[in-house]
Structure 1
């Protein structure tokens, strides 16, 4: 019994600290907005909404929708990166609304937003210690969009920490999420877990992102194939972690633009075309 316990402790000690690894990847980085992160001028309406209650505490997020939108539009749950629900993530929700979706940018950090890698690491570690609460948060986000706002189809998208949680949301709601997009989030490589997914998955990784090396991406692809999950996985040669973040120091415009074009085409096919014309058409 003692030997088995020691083995379990040793295995636990060998597990990667995702927050520390993200800290290494973002060394010297700051979430400073650039012109590429500016979503002003879009024909969208943005508001703060309460979409969940977790552990007895209200949770608010940013809801973006096309100007004059009626009920019944497809929707997207937008999961922030390790910095938290900042202006960059709000801008991504606005861009999705400009494409004809109701986009809800959720908050998994309890209203806190990081401005330095150290504070982001601390927030991520705290969040990862509350996985059940985060899953509940995202379940309620889906219910808010599907039940309260009447979205006929709901997708999920996330970056970095949010990319990992985009996939986890799909795994938690395998029969309710209709499309999942993962930007450089740590993937699941167990085919048995992925086999529950019924929605198509689109994922993007950086070829120079050593926090999620090529072998891990290959294992993810192999697991998706074995699990018979419809998927597209794109790796951009030479692109670092967070290559699609226009408010960070690792932004690669060509890769980011290509990934965004693929993302919007994917959602158009899985969320809009799949249900026919919408009120925004």
Structure 2
């Protein structure tokens, strides 16, 4: 319970800040309050949360893949990093970045998945519209500035880019973990899998009932924010929605799978990655 009240205190301390930000879509729908991804974004104002994220070490991705541009459903444009399958395929993995943005670390992760999931098109989306953070302060501001409507338009545009026959799985970390689940919700019948690393779950059971897939959630037991109470509530809500949920728990802290994080655990990160790949292979029906 101590961790639960720590989370509540952190959220309450930033609600007043978030309510003043016109960029948040909750301000356009005050009666409904912030949704799951907006609630998580509010944590960026918490010094304990932002202080737990050291800036990524310098890194330059030099592998394959290319930046693409597609039309979003709000009439705009968005760019993404894509690695196409060597063979014609309608299988897709959408990769959603952490709060740093679509940086070279995410491109490297996309390339790793493309290699381990042959026959799959991998697209790393950019929910920050080209902006990448170099410091925790910058990352917090970018995460808080994300408009739900714009993020959804980007994801929907990527789904249109993939095509109506596409089978779509998703994976994301932290900020991207929550958006991985939202991607599965937006994909409807095209969704075949969703992996979320320490991301804020959707709490609306009615929405969860529309999921076309089960979910794999990677959970860090020492995480102060996506803590045991959050996970237990998600398990309860998924059960109420009659949807499958597998929780992989590790005795680690938030962002333990990020190699640039001081609390990175190579052994646990590799185990979680192996579990994610096995899940994605099964759900994408890869040989």
Using structure 2 for the length normalisation, give the TM-score.
0.80
Count of aligned residue pairs for this structure pair: 252
Mapped pair 1:105 → 2:116:
no
SS at match of 1:211: coil
Give the superposition deviation at 1:33. 5.2
Mapped pair 1:251 → 2:264:
yes
Contact 2:74 2:153 in 1 (8 A): no
Alpha-carbon separation, structure 2, partners of 1:54 and 1:63: 19
Mapped pair 1:25 → 2:25:
no
Alpha-carbon separation, structure 1, partners of 2:90 and 2:73: 26
Give the superposition deviation at 1:63. 0.5
Equivalent residue number for residue 5 of structure 1: none
Matching of residues 1-281 of structure 1 within 5 Å: 18-22=40-44, 24-27=48-51, 29-32=54-57, 45-53=64-72, 55-66=74-85, 69-99=86-116, 100=118, 101-127=120-146, 130-147=147-164, 151=166, 153-237=167-251, 239-273=252-286
Contact 1:30 1:249 in 2 (8 A): no
Alpha-carbon separation, structure 1, partners of 2:41 and 2:208: 23
* CA-atom RMSD in angstroms: 2.6
Cα 1:262–1:55 change in 2 (3 A) is same
Give the superposition deviation at 1:173. 2.3
SS at match of 2:189: coil
Contact 1:33 1:246 in 2 (8 A): no
Contact 1:96 1:102 in 2 (8 A): no
Alpha-carbon separation, structure 2, partners of 1:254 and 1:97: 22
Give the superposition deviation at 1:252. 1.4
SS at match of 1:45: coil
Contact 1:207 1:214 in 2 (8 A): yes
Give the superposition deviation at 1:11. 10
Alignment gaps of 5+ in structure 2: 1-28
SS at match of 1:181: strand
Give the superposition deviation at 1:246. 1.4
Alpha-carbon separation, structure 2, partners of 1:54 and 1:271: 26
Give the superposition deviation at 1:177. 1.2
Give the superposition deviation at 1:56. 4.2
Alignment gaps of 5+ in structure 1: 1-7
Alpha-carbon separation, structure 1, partners of 2:136 and 2:102: 15
Give the superposition deviation at 1:271. 0.2
Alpha-carbon separation, structure 1, partners of 2:248 and 2:131: 32
Contact 1:39 1:95 in 2 (8 A): no
Cα 1:227–1:48 change in 2 (3 A) is same
Alpha-carbon separation, structure 2, partners of 1:226 and 1:186: 18
Q: Could you list the per-position Cα deviations for residues 147-172 of structure 1 after superposition, in whole angstroms to 9, with x for gaps in the alignment?
A: 5xx64x21011111111111111122
